[in-house]
Amino acid sequence: MLQEDNYVPQNVIEPEVLPRTADKGMCTDPIIAVEKSVQVSMKSNVHYRSKAIQTRNKNKSISTSPFKVSTTSSYTSPFKYEQCSLQRLQSGVVKAAKEVVALERDKSDSEISSIKSGYSSPFVPTSSKITDSDSYTTDTNSTVHQLQCLKNTLHLIKKKPLMYVGITEHCYFIIQLMHKHTNIKVEHILLCLKKIRLNSTFSELEDNFGMSLSYASKIFLNNIPILSSFLRPFIVNLNSNLTKRNLPIPFRHNYHNVSCIIDCLEIDIQKPSKALHQALTWSEYKKGNTVKYLISCTPNGLVNYVSQGFGGRTSDVVIVENTDFLDKLQPGTCILADRGFKHLEQILHSKGIKLLRPPSVSAGVKLSKSEVRQTKIIASLRIHVERVIRRLREFHMLKQHTVINTNILRIIDHIIIIACALINLQDSLIK
């Protein structure tokens, strides 16, 4: 036993104590020599939970839920639902509403109770006809709303036709004549005329006439040429004898040979995409892209001629030369025009037609008293064509600074004809 107590393992080396010295740089602590095999101390591994199990969600199924939902079958329900009464619908959809009521009567009491309560019974299968009837009812309500909007719009137009379509009340019967000869619906005719008169957007026309936006646009683009061909005869080329018998008093003394007054009308259009078209339609007078028309009216204010459209770059003389306007004039007549038509005098003289215009003004040269007096008289007589153009400008689509869309540009000639025909149906300019 004594030998076992005094036993010292051979692998353990006792520390050696070094003597202390006065040098502060020397280490005075004892040095412990350890066996190389035990120099690395192993630490116990710490276990961490992975991200997948960082949170513990407690799930409860319906079977283990403490909340119990009480369900009642429609067969054993103590509540009995009666057939609900339908409100009275418009006459146009009464037949459709009766079909819906007939479908409801064919259903059993259990199906009706499940529909009214909004609860789908597990014992009664849900029928697909229920969804169809609901959607059909929604479509019916939408149809009723569209019919009501159309009815209100027709009432407003009939009450104030001059404001909405540019036709006076005593000429409103012309709408029925258009419908009779063109087979176009009355509401479609009014849509086209309202678009020209008020320049309403197709979104507004969609709400006013109860139709889609694309359908309203299609109606306008397709029916305008037909209406133009119907209204073209209202732009009458009167003969000289009939014009003289209806001359206003200011023309009868010195200007009784005047058969018409001419001027040009320019309408702003959207800038074309092609550079060539931009150059041809550029107007130095309007400083923009325009379409130019030759307008002629009688001394009493009736439009008797309107040309096709030309680019804004075209001069007034070129427009007269490239139209059939001169062919409609009789020799010996007189035309009243502005200074811009001064180069037309030679062409008219070759056909025996006289051009009456204000005297030309040269730089640094004053007009004589007679020339000034003649300028004032011609300006006072030529004002009638300006009044005609002002009436054309009352149609908002032809108003100044109203830009015509490129899609409508292909029917702009027909729009001008319709507007000129409608102002001939209005009250006389000279009273």
CATH of the domain at 263: 3.30.420
Does residue 305 lie in a domain region? yes
| Residue 263 and residue 346 in one domain | yes
pLDDT of residue 249: 86
Terminal Cα distance for the chain, rounded: 153
Answer yes or no: do 270 and 327 share one domain. Answer: yes
3 state SS of 214: helix
227 and 257 co-located in one domain: no
Q: What is the distance between the alpha carbons of residues 80 and 43, in angstroms, rounded to a whole number?
A: 77
- Answer yes or no: is 271 within a domain: yes
Q: Where are the alpha helices (DSSP H) in 69-124?
A: 94-106, 109-117
Residue that terminates a domain, selected from 198, 233, 268: 233
**pLDDT over threshold 70, residue 14:** no
Q: How far is CA 77 from CA 73, 74, 112, 114, 341, in A?
A: 6, 5, 13, 10, 93
Domain that holds residue 201: 145-233
What digits encode the pLDDT tens for the residues 157-174?
A: 999 999 999 999 999 999
> Given this model, what pLDDT does residue 199 score?
93
Pull the structure tokens for residue 165: 């379509």
Shared-domain flag, residues 352 and 400: yes
Judge if 250 and 218 occupy the same domain.
no
What does the pLDDT average to over 36-55? Answer: 55
Q: Is 241 contained in some domain?
A: yes
List, as one string, the DSSP characters of 34-82. --GGGSSPPPPPPP---GGGSS------TTT-S-------TTT-S--PP
Counting the structural domains of the chain, the total is 2
Q: List the one residue out of 70, 132, 60 whose CA is nearest residue 96.
A: 132
267 and 202 within one domain:
no
pLDDT in tens, 372-415: 888 888 888 888 899 999 999 999 999 988 999 999 999 999 99
pLDDT in tens, 289-342: 999 999 999 998 899 999 999 999 999 889 999 999 988 888 888 899 888 888
Is residue 6 domain-resident?
A: no
For the cut 80, the answer to whether the pLDDT of residue 251 exceeds it is yes
- Winning range, highest mean pLDDT, from 38-42, 328-332, 366-370: 328-332
For residues 267 and 201, state if they share a domain. Answer: no
- Identify whether residues 228 and 328 lie together within a single domain: no
Which of 166, 198, 233 corresponds to the end of one domain?
Answer: 233
Task: Identify whether the C-beta of residue 265 lies closer than 8 Å to the C-beta of residue 413.
Answer: no
Q: Is residue 176 included in any domain, yes or no?
A: yes
Sole residue written with tokens 């061909």: 229
Residue 22 pLDDT greater than 70, yes or no? no
The reported pTM is: 0.67
Structure tokens at 198: 């008020």
Indicate whether 382 and 271 sit together in one domain: yes
Among 421, 387, 393, CA closest to 230: 421
pLDDT band at 123 (very low <50, low <70, confident <90, very high): very low
Burial of 102 (0-12, 13-18, 19+ CB in 10 A): exposed
Residue 238 has which token pair?
């009167």
Say if CB 147 and CB 92 are below 8 A apart: yes
The answer to whether residues 202 and 262 belong to one domain is no
Q: Tell whether 281 and 391 lie within a shared domain.
A: yes
Q: pLDDT tens across 63-114, in order?
A: 666 665 555 555 565 665 555 554 444 444 445 555 544 555 554 444 444 4
Q: Alpha-carbon distance 234 to 232, whole Å?
A: 5
Indicate whether 249 and 376 sit together in one domain: yes
